[in-house]
């Protein structure tokens, strides 16, 4: 629990917090996450899945009909969360290669900035590997400037400057009209996105977020905090200055058997985004809607709930209802949080989603890690990859 105590210390010491975040505010101000783009084998069908199962809404489209010759992209939205699904239309090329190596996976974690050119200059000056030089794209709605840098694996951060743009998404996209519009399930915004990196690489990538992007480390877990009998990992949480963008970084640790992080690294062929945590105001309603629409969540053993109230104290929710859905609860000094994890949502055992509802707590559910990992190990065992 050392990590959480550290967070508490930070929050109690306004001056040091300010000091830590001062430089972040200075050189890379972020307004939040702009979009997350996945390279997938079949964007049309994947879009249908995210609409049906996750309640995303059709927003924008680009493809042959809009003059895009080599790929299609579907843009989906739910409140502040924007997903872009992209599939190549021709053989070979960078996107095909990405899908071949990683399967359906996150390529771009785009960040919303006021000045994309400055974001590119400040980060590359500090050592970031360039992905996209500042590029202006224009149509009748104005212009957008995007630039980008590499982070872990083949994942990139694209800095999106859209203050001079009134269109739906980006130039080249048009409104995606659909007669099939399932209701949203109450997902509001991206709470955090987790990256898995290789053995002994966590420090390097935390330093990258610290030095190159001006993030501060807010929490750290060692394998003592979160190992089970079989598997272990280490994790640090990096946050930008205003706390709107949080990137936990995981690295495998030695256990008796293969850890879930190693399984991810094997099937993703290297580092990448492990999970996207999306926030809701009503986790019971959100999760029951998602279950009804076919989303599979990790199973949590009933015993988890036996001593729950002793561990977390009083909560507003009915424990029986949480138990029915397999929702986990953890408390820190600020309050508590409720969270649940989907099973992997692509064919390879790589990427999954977390649904989270915060009731004061600003931490990441360390008290649940053990229960969670045991649930993941049951899945690994059924795949023969433990
Ligand atoms: Fe998470």
Strand partners, 105: 39
pTM (predicted TM-score) = 0.91
Distance 21 CA to ligand 1 centre (A): 22
Q: What is the pLDDT of residue 362?
A: 85
Q: Note whether 161 and 19 are same-domain residues.
A: no
* Same-domain status, 244 and 368: yes
Distance 311 CA to ligand 1 centre (A): 20
Spacing, Cα 60 to ligand 1 middle (Å):
28
Angle CA 110–122–217, to nearest 5: 70
Nearest Cα residue to 146 out of 117, 172, 108, 107:
117
- Expressed in angstroms and rounded, the spacing between residue 128 Cα and the centre of ligand 1 is 25
pLDDT band at 365 (very low <50, low <70, confident <90, very high): confident
Residue 349 lies in a domain: yes
Number of domains forming the structure of the chain: 2
Residue 58 and residue 193 share a domain = no
Instruction: Return d(Cα 230, Cα 236) in angstroms, integer.
Output: 21
Write out the two tokens for 184.
């949203």
Q: Are residues 19 and 55 in the same domain?
A: no
pLDDT in tens, 93-119: 999 999 999 999 999 999 999 999 999
The pLDDT tens digits of the residues spanning 60-78 come to 999 999 999 999 999 999 9
Q: Closest by alpha carbon to 226, among 193, 198, 248? A: 248
- The Cα-based distances of 218 to 21, 221, 225, 302 in angstroms read 11, 11, 16, 32
CA of 194 to the centre of ligand 1 (A): 6
Asked whether residue 132 is domain-assigned, the answer is yes
**Is the pLDDT reported for residue 17 higher than 60?**
no
**Whether residues 134 and 204 fall in one domain:** no
Find the domain containing 96 and state its range: 32-175
**Banded model confidence at residue 9, pLDDT cuts 50, 70, 90:** very low
Contacts of 287 (CB under 8 A, 6+ apart): 297, 325, 327, 340, 355
119 plus 234 within the same structural domain: no
User: Position of tokens 């293969």?
Assistant: 258
CATH of the domain at 146: 3.10.180.10
Residue 3: inside a domain: no
Angle between helices 260-268 and 369-383 (to 10 degrees): 50
Please indicate, yes or no, whether residues 242 and 360 belong to a single structural domain of this protein: yes
For ligand 1, the distance from its centroid to the CA atom of residue 92, given in whole angstroms, is 34
Per-residue pLDDT of 316-353, as tens digits, reads 999 999 999 999 999 888 899 999 999 999 999 999 99
């Amino acid at each position: 629990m050392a990590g959480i105590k550290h967070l508490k210390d930070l929050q109690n010491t306004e001056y040091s917090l300010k000091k830590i975040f001062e430089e972040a505010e200075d050189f890379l101000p972020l307004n939040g996450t702009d979009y997350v783009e996945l390279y997938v084998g079949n964007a049309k069908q994947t879009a249908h899945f995210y609409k049906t199962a996750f309640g995303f809404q059709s927003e924008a489209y680009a493809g042959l009909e809009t003059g895009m010759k080599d790929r299609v992209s579907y843009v989906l939205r739910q409140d502040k969360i924007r997903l872009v699904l992209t599939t190549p239309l021709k053989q070979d090329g960078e996107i095909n290669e990405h899908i071949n190596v990683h399967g359906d996976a996150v390529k771009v974690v785009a960040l919303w900035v006021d000045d994309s050119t400055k974001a590119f200059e400040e980060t590359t000056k500090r050592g970031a590997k360039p992905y996209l030089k500042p590029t202006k794209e224009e149509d009748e709605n104005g212009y957008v400037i995007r630039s980008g840098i590499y982070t872990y694996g083949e994942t990139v951060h694209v800095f999106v400057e859209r203050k001079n743009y009134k269109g739906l998404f980006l130039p080249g996209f048009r409104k995606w009209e659909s007669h099939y519009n399932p209701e949203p399930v109450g997902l509001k915004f991206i709470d955090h996105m987790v990256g898995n990196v290789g053995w002994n690489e966590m420090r390097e990538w935390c330093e990258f977020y610290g030095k190159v992007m001006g993030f501060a480390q807010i929490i750290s877990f060692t394998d003592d905090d979160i190992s089970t009998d079989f598997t272990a990992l280490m994790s640090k949480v990096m946050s930008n200055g205003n706390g709107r963008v949080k990137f936990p970084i995981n690295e495998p640790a030695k256990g008796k058997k293969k850890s879930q992080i190693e399984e991810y690294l094997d099937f993703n062929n290297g580092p990448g985004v492990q999970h996207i945590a999306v926030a809701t105001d009503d986790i019971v309603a959100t999760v029951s809607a998602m279950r009804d629409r076919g989303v599979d969540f990790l199973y949590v053993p009933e015993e988890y709930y036996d001593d729950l109230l002793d561990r977390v104290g009083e909560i507003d929710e009915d424990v029986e209802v949480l138990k029915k859905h397999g929702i986990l609860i953890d408390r820190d000094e600020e309050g508590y949080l409720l969270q649940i994890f989907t099973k992997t949502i692509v064919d390879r055992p790589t990427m999954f989603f977390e649904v989270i509802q915060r009731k004061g707590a600003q931490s990441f559910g360390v008290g649940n890690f053990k229960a969670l990992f045991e649930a993941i190990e049951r899945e690994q065992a059924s795949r023969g990859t433990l």
